[in-house]
Amino acid sequence: MRISKIERNTKETQISLKLNLDGKGDASVQTGIGFFDHMLLSFAKHGLFDLTLVAKGDLEVDQHHLVEDVGIALGSAFSQALGDKKGISRAGSFLFAYPMDETLSCIALDFGGRAYLNFDARFEREFIGELQSDLIKEFFAGFVQGARCNLHIRNLYDGNDHHKCEGIFKGFAKALSQAVSVSKNAEGKIPSTKGMI
């Protein structure tokens, strides 16, 4: 079973996370930031990942530590659950487009062992709900650090900030679901010419 548990405790944040890659989209998320919870619940639902997450942090200082550390913990959970990555597809679609009403986002990723983020999305408002909009990029930067994956996110059309962000999270979930899927033809094989990732 591809299940992982992560405990991340620092002087700034305390995070407990359980992830099942082969789930049904059942999730419970508590970060103290309502819109961030909504995005993570949508992510789990659309990726069909079972996710239990409780995160506390120094929100009286700023949201940055909590949002970034949740990204690191979630990325680490994917890395742990994937193990040696034998049999996985490894990459999401070269171009995975996810529409959310008037907005359109494209997501591509690769679990090739190298952390890199290209994030091309701009938000008009400082906050989306309670979430500082500039921290959306920091969440994904934390994720690639923890997962050691290559991730490209691009928002193609402007529109409502909520819709842009939700399209990104849902597209991210779909691309991740594709990348972690197991191919029967590649069962037991590492998806790399190097023989390891």
95: pLDDT strictly greater than 60: no
**Residue pair 82/4 in contact by the 8 Å Cβ criterion:** no
Check: CATH 3.10.20.30 for 3-186? Answer: no
The stretch 140-157 carries a mean pLDDT of 96
Residues in the chain: 197
**pLDDT grade for 91, boundaries at 50, 70 and 90:** confident
The whole-model pTM stands at: 0.92
Nearest-10 crossing angle of helices 64-82, 34-47: 20
**pLDDT grade for 94, boundaries at 50, 70 and 90:** very low
Share of the chain above pLDDT 90, in %: 78
H/E run at residue 84: none
Model pLDDT for residues 97-148, shown as the tens digit of each residue: 666 778 889 999 999 999 999 999 999 999 999 999 999 999 999 999 999 9
Model pLDDT for residues 45-85, shown as the tens digit of each residue: 999 999 999 999 999 999 999 999 999 999 999 999 999 88
- Mean pLDDT (the chain) is 92
Check residue 183 and give its pLDDT. 78
Check residue 191 and give its pLDDT. 56
What is the residue extent of each domain of the chain? 3-186
CA–CA–CA angle 117, 120, 125 (5° rounding): 120
